Amino acid sequence: MRSSAADHITFPINFSPEKVQGCALHEGDWGTEGSVICWDYVHDGKAKVVKEIVEAIDEQNHSVTFKVVAGDLMEEYKSFKAVLQATPKSEGSVVHWTLEYEKLSADVPEPNTSLQFVLDLSKDIGSHLSQ
């Protein structure tokens, strides 16, 4: 049986299947620092893959830091991290994403579409959770 942490990490598959097609744990345990997760997703109309390490979980600040270690993003970026922070409110939470990255060259675009992707995914999840 999966833990509730696994449900929280993989639930975008259920709520946004047009964006996220798969999620697999490659190393470690669900919901723990150091675990390695591989995602299959569609971004800008193309099937893509990302492999990431859960670098940090900060329970006090309600944040998780993901460090990309392989996949399509690494074709354009030397390093790429995504920090997800959920700030509890009286009803629900406010989600804040921060992308930290280093481009491989000056020709690489800013990751605006990646930011829009995670924002749209967050909205999809929020609409399902509020039903």
CATH homologous superfamily for the domain 4-129: START domain (3.30.530.20)
- Average pLDDT across the chain, whole number: 86
Reported confidence tier of residue 6, pLDDT bands at 50, 70, 90:
very low
Average confidence (pLDDT) over 74-96: 91
Position 58 confidence tier, pLDDT thresholds 50, 70, 90: very high
The pLDDT value recorded for residue 28 is: 95
Quote the CA–CA distance of 14 and 121 in Å, as a whole number.
11
Q: What is the pLDDT of residues 87-128, one digit of tens each?
A: 888 887 888 999 999 999 999 999 999 999 998 888 887 776
Reported pTM: 0.84
Spatial contact of 34 and 28, defined as CB atoms under 8 Å apart: yes
pLDDT, position 7: 43
Domain assignments of the chain as residue spans, ordered by start: 4-129
